[in-house]
Amino acid sequence: MPALMSSADIPKSRLSQKTENTALPKSLCAIVGIEEFVMTAAPPLLGDSVQITESYEDNMAGISLLDRTRRIGSLLHNNVSSKVAFTDICTVVSDTLSSDALVISRRGKVLGACENGSVEKIEEMLGYEVGNYIDNALNDRFLSILSTQENAGLLALGFSWKTAHGYERRNRGESVSDKGEKHVEYRVMITPIFIGGERLGTLFIYRNGEEYGIDDIILSEYAATVVGLEMMRSKKEENDESDRLEKTVNGVLEVTSKSETESVRAVLSKLDENGCGIVNLTRLSEESGISRTSLVNAVKKMAGAGIFETRSRGVRGTEIKVINELIYSITEG
């Protein structure tokens, strides 16, 4: 087996020629016995480096957008309850866009809201409690917007100059607060919620300073679609429940005699506006002229069908609460 060459046996001209533009690994240098080996490599071209950096940044931005989109979409896939959690959707949108977010129905009712700690809250014409209503004029302006409006101005929506610019107005309109700091104007994004060509509401998002970009618009419109699907599901559930209650009332009335129907009317007349009250059937029989047997049978049928909720109160009578308010329809005949 031939002996390995040492560094002394290699001519310097050959060594410099071989290593001038080649970078050898240190393990190979150790094998050939080269103790001092100056490795030089040709630097990459500047254009190639810029292209690699831009490609990496684009890939990372795409991954970030995908992750944020999946966070919103997971609300649809993981929501196993029958309740529509619009506030949960607003929370995810608020976290992903660093903004305050509100879901507003077509009639101006706040269905969900989430405040971001880094955003100065807008108090004017808005309501953050679920169930509250926003200003009617503001809601009309929202409904007039038919496509996503990013970085819209608050002045155009009817907000005051003070709210739009986020500071107390000074002489000559200087944007200076009491502390002498400049305030940053609000950036607003309004996304209409359409499903099947029907306007269901509006997704209202805003933050301070940074403008909304194309990724933010994509997330907002995707979130609006998720909200729209939840609204449609909620609407369908309400319609299904209304149909069920109506079928229940109609089914009971079909097997109820005329005297029992009159008994139900007499009982309903003794309840308060909330459909609650204690009724003494014996006394009611004397007042209305309806037999006590008919009154008792009518109340039992209504309770058995889930229309009434009853509880005995002894000599005081029977406590009755209306569960299915569609029973009031029989009093209109």
Q: Coil, strand, or helix at residue 210? A: coil
- Cα dihedral 232, 233, 237, 239, rounded to 10, equals 20
Name the least confident of 24-28, 99-103, 186-190, 236-240. 24-28
Please tell me the predicted confidence (pLDDT) of residue 199.
92
pLDDT score at 311: 92
Position 187 scores a pLDDT of 87
Average model confidence (pLDDT) for the chain? 76
The two structure tokens encoding residue 118: 């880094």
Q: Among 27-31, 88-92, 131-135, 222-226, where is mean pLDDT lowest?
A: 27-31
Give 135's Cβ-side CA count (13 Å radius). 10
| Residue 29: pLDDT over 50 | no
CB 152 within 8 A of CB 141: no
Task: Answer whether residue 250 shows pLDDT above 90.
Answer: no
In Å, what is the CA distance from 222 to each residue of 93, 155, 161, 191, 294?
A: 10, 27, 31, 10, 58
Q: Which of 180, 175, 134, 125 is nearest to 154 (CA)?
A: 125
Nearest-angstrom CA–CA distance, 219 and 93? 8
Mean pLDDT, residues 74-84: 61
d(Cα 127, Cα 119) in Å, to the nearest integer? 16
pTM over 0.75: no
Q: Cβ atoms within 10 A of the Cβ of 313, count?
A: 12
Q: Which of 305, 301, 220 minimizes the C-alpha distance to 267?
A: 301
CA 143/CA 107 separation, integer angstroms: 9
Coil, strand or helix: which one is 87? helix
Tell me the average pLDDT across 275-291. 91
In order, the DSSP letters of 248-274 are HHHHHHHT--HHHHHHHHHHHHTS-TT
27 pLDDT tier (thresholds 50, 70, 90) = very low
The residue among 71, 138, 78, 70 whose CA lies nearest residue 104 is 138
pLDDT of residue 40: 44
The CA radius of gyration of the chain, in Å to the nearest whole number, is 37
Domains of the chain: 1-42 (no CATH), 51-238 (3.30.450.40), 255-332 (1.10.10.10)
317 or 57, greater pLDDT: 317
Secondary structure (DSSP) of 110-155 = EEEEE--TTSPPP-TT---STT-B--HHHHHHHHH--S-EEEE-TG
Q: Report pLDDT for 83.
A: 58
Does 34 have pLDDT greater than 70? Answer: no
